[in-house]
Chain A
C-alpha cells in the first residue's frame, strides 16, 4: 500500500468511533434517548460529504488554471464519493427521523406530510440532485478537454449552491432538524455540544472523511491506469 500511515489512522479512528460511540456515556435527552449516538454516524456522513465536495471544487479550480487532466479526474472522483456519503447521510437521516420526529398518534401519511416539508430535507435533496446533474453533464460530453472544462465550471456552481440549499435556507426557516430558525450550528457549537460527545465526534469526523479519501484514492489510481492504457493503445 502506498503512503499507508493515514490509512492506519483511518482504521483506528473508525474502530474507536464504533466502540466508544456505542459504549461511552452520553447526555440523557428526552425523545432523542439513545439515538443521540447517531451524531457519530449520520452527522459525520454530511461532514465527510462537505469536505470531499470542497476538495473536489479545489481540484476543479486547479484544472481550470492548469488545464491538466489529472485534476479533472481527481475532481470527478471526489465529487462521486462525496455524493455517496451524502446519500448515506440522507438514508440514515430518514431512519433517525422515523424514530424521533414521527408522532405516534398521527397516521403514517400525516407524519410523512409533516416531515417531507422539512426545509433541511428539501435543501439536501436539491444539493444532491445538482451534483447528480454534474455527473450526467460531464459524462454526456464526448470531447475530453471540453468535458473537463464544462465539468469544472459546473462543479464550482454546484459547490456554491450547497451553501444556500443546505446551510442558509434551512437555518432561516422553522425546522425540526437541529439548527433551524437561527439556533446556530448545533454540531459545531463548541459550548453547545456535550464534552463527552466531543471526544468521540471530532475523531469520528476525521475517521469517516479519511475513509472517503481512501476510496477516492483507489478510484483515482484506477482511472490513471485506464488513461495510461488508453494512451498506450
Chain B
C-alpha cells in the first residue's frame, strides 16, 4: 500500500513541470525581485490575525456567558 502511494506521488512530479508557460504574459517579476510583495503578505497577515483574535475573544466571552449567565 505504502509502496503504491509512493509510486503514485512519484508519477505526479513530472506533471508539476509539464505545464506550458506563456512567458510573454506580464507578471509581477520586478516587484517580486524587489521583495516588495512581502509587504503585502505582512499586511494581509496582520489583518487576518486581527480578525482571528477578535473571533477568539468573542468565543471566550460567549463561553464565559454560557458557564454563568
* B-binding residues in A (CB < 8 A): 1-2, 7, 11, 14-15, 18-19, 22-23, 27-30, 32-34, 194-196, 214-215, 218, 221-222, 225, 228-229
The 4 tightest CB contacts between A and B, nearest first, are A28-B25, A30-B25, A34-B28, A18-B44
Q: How far is the CB of A217 from chain B (nearest CB, A)?
A: 8
**CB-CB nearest in chain B for A215:** B55
User: What are 29 residue pairs bridging A and B, where the CB atoms are less than 8 Å apart in the complex?
Assistant: A1-B56, A1-B60, A1-B63, A2-B63, A7-B56, A14-B48, A14-B52, A22-B37, A22-B41, A22-B44, A23-B38, A27-B19, A27-B21, A28-B21, A29-B22, A30-B22, A30-B24, A30-B25, A195-B16, A195-B19, A196-B16, A215-B55, A218-B58, A218-B59, A221-B62, A221-B66, A222-B62, A225-B65, A225-B66
**CB-CB nearest in chain A for B56:** A1
* A-binding residues in B (CB < 8 A): 12, 15-16, 19, 21-28, 37-38, 40-41, 44-45, 48, 52, 55-56, 58-60, 62-63, 65-66, 69
Q: How far is the CA of A213 from the CA of B69 in the complex (A)?
A: 24
B interface, over-half SS: helix
Q: What's the A-B contact tally at a CB cutoff of 8 Å?
A: 68
